[in-house]
Structure 1
Amino acid sequence: MNRSIRNTQQETTMNLHDTPHLAGPQPEELVPSRYALKVGDIDVLVVSDGVLPLPTQMLGHNAAPSVRAAWLKDMFLPQDAFDWALNAVVVRSGDRTILIDAGLGSDPDLHLPRAGQLIRRLEAAGIDLSSVTDVVLTHMHMDHVGGLLVDGVKERLRPDLQIHVAAAEVAFWEAPDFSRTAMPEGFPDALRTAARQFTRTYHNQLRQFDEQHEIAPGVVVRRTGGHTPGHSIVRLTSGADALTFAGDAVFTVGFDHPDWFNGFEHDPEEASRVRGRLLRDLAKTGELLVATHMPFPSVGHVARDGDTFRFVPVFWDY
């Protein structure tokens, strides 16, 4: 069996944490909300933060409405709005337990009751917040930092927690530019508020890097820009295995239409170039991909399909 997609409760319990591992989803949940795999000697747990309903125009606001409607029809998706997945990742490498992105948290003004589940689901997986040594932020949109702003969470984190984020990202949110985005009403204000609150709350824990930084053996974060100026991806490597967590560089529609502009992209042209380069690289290497807004657990490979790409999900290993 390919070690990169091995999924066992025993391995997760032994390697990710020392607390008892619950056998399955909580009684009120009808579907799994976490998926474990191995990347060589690195333990990985993809955790769902829930789903975020958004207008379908957000998928490609530069595309003709008829073309966008045809793509949605081909994908058996609704024409008006659909649920974006929200995925975060827990990584264990050596003596470091690393949370990559922190989910949405809670913003009652946006009325998103099915999102912001990460903290509860980490607990359901038996992961104590005090065991997390590092947090890596792909960027500072609220659906990537909000979980750490939930009341009572900071007090449960270890005082020597290190939060790794690109310096360009921190600088951007001092005076963010939304002029080239296409977001629903209320989102720019909510994003701005969350980023500022996060910077104030965790200023002493921030560890800023310029272009690339190794967090732990085989865990490297690299700035790509595009989606936001400091947007970053995280690559895990161990032995012959590798996995890239792409954050918001890749969306489901991006395989068929890498040139479509996502409504949350602050520099859509650069985001499109980043997406194309990343997909070409992943298709060439064959390594695994996980991304924030692809359907849970979003673990799969990238294949070339002429001038575009295909996402090839791994077979779930129970």
Structure 2
Amino acid sequence: MSLFDIFDTGTAATGELVPSRYALRIGEIEVLVVSDGVLPLPTAMLAHNADPATRAAWFDEMFLPPEAFDWPLNVVVVRSDGKTILIDAGLGLDPDLHLPRAGQLIMRLKSAGIDLASIADVVLTHMHMDHIGGLLVDGVKERLPPDLRIHVAAAEVNFWESPDFSRANMPPGFPDALRSAAKRFQNEYESHFQQFDDKQEVAPGVIVSRTGGHTPGHSVVRIASGNDRLMFAGDAVFPVGFEHPDWQNGFEHDPEEAARVRIQLMQELAANGELLVATHLPFPSIGRVAVDGDVFRWVPVFWHY
């Protein structure tokens, strides 16, 4: 089944009132953006180094509540050269964190007609729990192929052996949850890891490259076919990062390096006009980056129906 065949099932089959998946082509490569739901967090998490009044003004200008913000969670499925590739795996189910509107990925893959047994490769931008948790849901591992390959930067694997959160600024409970999820993930899936230092070709036109910053092994995935290009930027880019690329995210393990990476990627995107998808931009998170004076501007695409 082509990823484009999922339109035949529609959202009515799931009982959902809003769309949660969006398909597009990058040349000959099929791309499906899937929403894993939303993750409510304090607004300070998007810019803990910003003046509170300035931060509140930005949220007010965006017609967003000042205290808590629903972070979107986006995952990408790619089909290239007959291979189905999952890029990140969503939050999964962590009842201790009380996040009922997140962790929807496995249900939504099923409703899209994507069999877990068909996934040949998983690419991880990093190992925060909202990027690996879907693979920790009960019964998922048994449905994945036994020769599954999980592509992750070696620096990321090394970091989670003894994670240092001294420069992060997270709400209570999250550091322990992150450690627990990463440890469990390594215990269950380490034999499937395909570690790389700088970059790795996963399939024709699908290359994962380490950027660092957000975490030591944070990576982006570039998809290219013909004249079309798309970057899945993981957690390198957040909604506030266009107008305020220097604002620091509470989950960043090296905030200054994360800002440098963010600016470099957005300069690159603005120069070449390629499409951008990121984990925490509003679904379906597809757009381009424009230069706006000394900062940047997010330009969402018009949906193709």
- Mapped to 1, the partners of 2:255 and 2:12 lie a distance apart of 38
Identity %: 70
- AA aligned to 1:12 is F
Contact 1:302–1:310 at 8 Å: present in 2 too? yes
- Mapped to 2, the partners of 1:10 and 1:110 lie a distance apart of 36
Structure 2: gaps of 5 or more residues = none
- Mapped to 2, the partners of 1:160 and 1:303 lie a distance apart of 41
Q: TM-score, normalised by structure 2?
A: 0.98
Work out which of the residue numbers 24, 38, 48 in structure 1 matches 2:35.
48
CA drift at 1:95: 2.1
How many residues are matched?
305
Provide the secondary structure at the position in 1 that maps to 2:284. Answer: coil
CA drift at 1:21: 5.0
Q: TM-score, normalised by structure 1?
A: 0.94
1:208 counterpart = 2:195: yes
Work out which of the residue numbers 9, 12, 21 in structure 2 matches 1:34.
21
The C-alpha deviation readout for 1:122-158, integer Å capped at 9, x for no partner, is: 0000000000000000000000000000000000000
1:108 counterpart = 2:65: no
Contact 1:25–1:32 at 8 Å: present in 2 too? no
1:117 counterpart = 2:109: no
- AA aligned to 1:28 is G
Q: Residue 4 of structure 2 corresponds to which residue in structure 1?
A: 12
Work out which of the residue numbers 158, 173, 177 in structure 1 matches 2:160.
173
Provide the secondary structure at the position in 2 that maps to 1:301. Answer: strand
The C-alpha deviation readout for 1:77-105, integer Å capped at 9, x for no partner, is: 10010100000000000021100000000
Contact 1:21–1:126 at 8 Å: present in 2 too? no
Contact 2:14–2:111 at 8 Å: present in 1 too? no
Aligned-pair Cα RMSD in Å: 1.3
The C-alpha deviation readout for 1:40-62, integer Å capped at 9, x for no partner, is: 00000000000000000001000
- Mapped to 2, the partners of 1:11 and 1:154 lie a distance apart of 22
Work out which of the residue numbers 118, 136, 147 in structure 2 matches 1:149.
136
Contact 1:25–1:124 at 8 Å: present in 2 too? no
CA drift at 1:24: 2.5
Q: Residue 265 of structure 1 corresponds to which residue in structure 2?
A: 252
CA drift at 1:26: 3.9
- Mapped to 1, the partners of 2:258 and 2:63 lie a distance apart of 26
- Mapped to 2, the partners of 1:29 and 1:87 lie a distance apart of 17
CA drift at 1:203: 1.2
The C-alpha deviation readout for 1:179-219, integer Å capped at 9, x for no partner, is: 11111100000000000000000011011000000000000
Where do 1:1-318 residues align within 5 Å? 12-13=4-5, 22-318=9-305
Provide the secondary structure at the position in 1 that maps to 2:45. Answer: helix
Structure 1: gaps of 5 or more residues = 1-8
The C-alpha deviation readout for 1:267-308, integer Å capped at 9, x for no partner, is: 000000000000000000000000000000000010000011
CA drift at 1:10: 7.0
Q: Return closer, same or farther for 1:25/1:289 CA change in 2, 3 Å cut-off.
A: farther
- AA aligned to 2:202 is I
- Mapped to 1, the partners of 2:10 and 2:256 lie a distance apart of 45
The C-alpha deviation readout for 1:104-131, integer Å capped at 9, x for no partner, is: 0011110000000000000000000000
- Mapped to 2, the partners of 1:178 and 1:25 lie a distance apart of 43
CA drift at 1:29: 1.2
